[in-house]
Amino acid sequence: MSIIKPNNNTISAITALPAGVGGKVLQIVTANTSSRVTTTSTSFVTASNGLTVNITPSSTSNKVFVMASTCIRNNNNESYTTATIFRDSTNLGNSNLGMGTVWSKVSALINVPHTMQYLDSPSSTSQLTYQVYFRAVGSGTAYLNGIDNNNQGTITAFEISG
């Protein structure tokens, strides 16, 4: 394939990476939902609202780049909501605060956009499940994906050649 520049000079497009060079995207899986989920649990729980994807790497040397975007909040004064991404039963974020935390004040109960991303090296050719988990820190109700069912949450996983 060629690309022609406006001054009629031709340059070649890169259509494949040289042998032994990683970084090529091999597959992409994505899921989205507008369903809100709540919990009062102080332990990480699955969102169970569609923010989950399954991907099967083709080689143990390949990586999986996963990213999720949602909104989080807590309805109680001086309480937190934290969210993270799990691969199967493994928390890919911090064991306590996940991949991000929102602090709530009664006068400012707003949805806070929350984006998480992680480059995983699972060393597997088995099906892997990546899913958003969240929890309340302190008291109150933790909200994931908004106050109502009008926010769009998304999770996407990319298999990257190793």
pLDDT of residue 107: 60
Neighbours of 60 (CB within 10 A): 12
Q: Is residue 5 part of a domain?
A: no
The CATH number covering residue 123 comes to 2.60.120.1340
Closest-CA residue to 155 (of 73, 55, 57, 52): 52
Counting other chains too, the contacts that 90-93 makes at CB distance below 8 Å and 24 or more residues apart are: 91/44, 91/133, 92/66, 92/118, 92/120, 93/118
Q: Is residue 112 part of a domain?
A: yes
Q: Is residue 137 part of a domain?
A: yes
Q: Is residue 12 part of a domain?
A: no
C-alpha 49, offset from chain centre: 14
Q: Is residue 110 part of a domain?
A: yes
**Domain count of the chain?**
1
Q: Is residue 10 part of a domain?
A: no
Output the tens digit of pLDDT for each of the chain's 162 residues: 444 445 555 444 445 555 656 689 999 999 999 888 899 999 999 987 789 999 999 999 999 999 999 988 888 877 889 999 999 999 999 999 999 888 877 666 677 888 999 999 999 999 999 999 999 988 888 988 876 667 789 999 999 998
Task: Report d(CA 121, CA 54) in Å as an integer.
Answer: 15
Separation in Å, CA 58 to CA 18, 26, 90, 92, 121: 19, 9, 20, 21, 13
Q: For residue 59, give its domain range.
A: 18-160
| Span 127-145, pLDDT tens digits | 999 999 999 988 888 988 8
Q: Is residue 3 part of a domain?
A: no
Q: Is residue 93 part of a domain?
A: yes
Q: Taking the model in full, what pTM does it have?
A: 0.82
- Residue 126: both structure tokens together: 């088995």
| Span 3-28, pLDDT tens digits | 444 555 544 444 555 565 668 999 99
One-letter amino acid of 156: T
47 near 132, Cβ under 8 Å?
yes
pLDDT of residue 12: 46
Separation in Å, CA 38 to CA 12, 52, 72, 74, 109: 52, 16, 10, 9, 15
